[in-house]
């Protein structure tokens, strides 16, 4: 049990009570404020964009968008780190090497729909790695390198398998 915590809304330091050792807010008011902010996130972004105010630091911005230059840089870095972590977890689950040719360099690996079925609607569900995690890494996917994945998609076979069988 942590001795003190910081409120997610106002940042004030507080001591959680013994019945709620992992309490995130210093008061009920802060809890409600936090959840209302999350609920109205889309509206908040639209208002900031219209008024040309940065979503991160609330300073005036000259360009069209929702972030000032500094906040945009931080947001991009955080998003990239989150994506890398999610991708690694997905590759860890489906195997960290190509199931066709054995390529193991992370930069060359991709997730493949085994039967070409796409149960994932990118527009509705967002990132494939997030969708896989949310659905508890379902069967029907595997790790392939980009070359094998593209060859299977375009030609219906992988050259590694075709030429390996003709050599024997």
109-113 and 13-14 strand pairing: unpaired
How much is the pTM? 0.63
The answer to whether 94 touches 113, Cβ cutoff 8 Å, is no
Q: What pLDDT is attached to residue 85?
A: 93
Q: What pLDDT is attached to residue 109?
A: 94
**C-alpha distances in Å from residue 139, one per residue of 96, 114, 142, 166:** 16, 9, 8, 31
**C-alpha distances in Å from residue 36, one per residue of 10, 59, 67, 152:** 14, 22, 21, 47
- Give average pLDDT by consecutive 10-residue segment, the chain, 168 residues: 74 81 81 71 77 80 80 90 93 93 93 76 71 88 92 85 61
Q: What pLDDT is attached to residue 89?
A: 94
The domain locations on the chain are 95-168
The closest of 157, 158, 147, 155 to 108, measured between CA atoms, is 147
């Amino acid at each position: 049990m942590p001795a003190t915590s910081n409120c997610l809304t106002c940042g004030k330091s507080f001591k959680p009570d013994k019945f709620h050792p992992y309490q995130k807010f210093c008061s009920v008011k802060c809890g409600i404020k936090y959840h209302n902010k999350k609920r109205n996130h889309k509206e908040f972004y639209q208002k900031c964009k219209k008024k040309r105010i940065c979503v991160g630091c609330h300073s005036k911005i000259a360009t069209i968008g929702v972030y000032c230059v500094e906040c945009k840089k931080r947001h991009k870095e955080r998003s990239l780190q989150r994506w890398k972590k999610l991708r690694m977890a997905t590759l860890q689950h489906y195997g960290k090497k190509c199931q066709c040719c054995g390529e193991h360099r992370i930069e060359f690996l991709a997730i493949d729909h085994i039967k070409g079925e796409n149960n994932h609607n990118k527009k509705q569900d967002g990132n494939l790695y997030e969708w896989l995690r949310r659905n508890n890494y379902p069967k029907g996917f595997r790790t392939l390198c980009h070359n094998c994945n593209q060859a299977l998609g375009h030609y219906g076979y992988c050259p590694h398998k075709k030429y390996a069988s003709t050599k024997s």
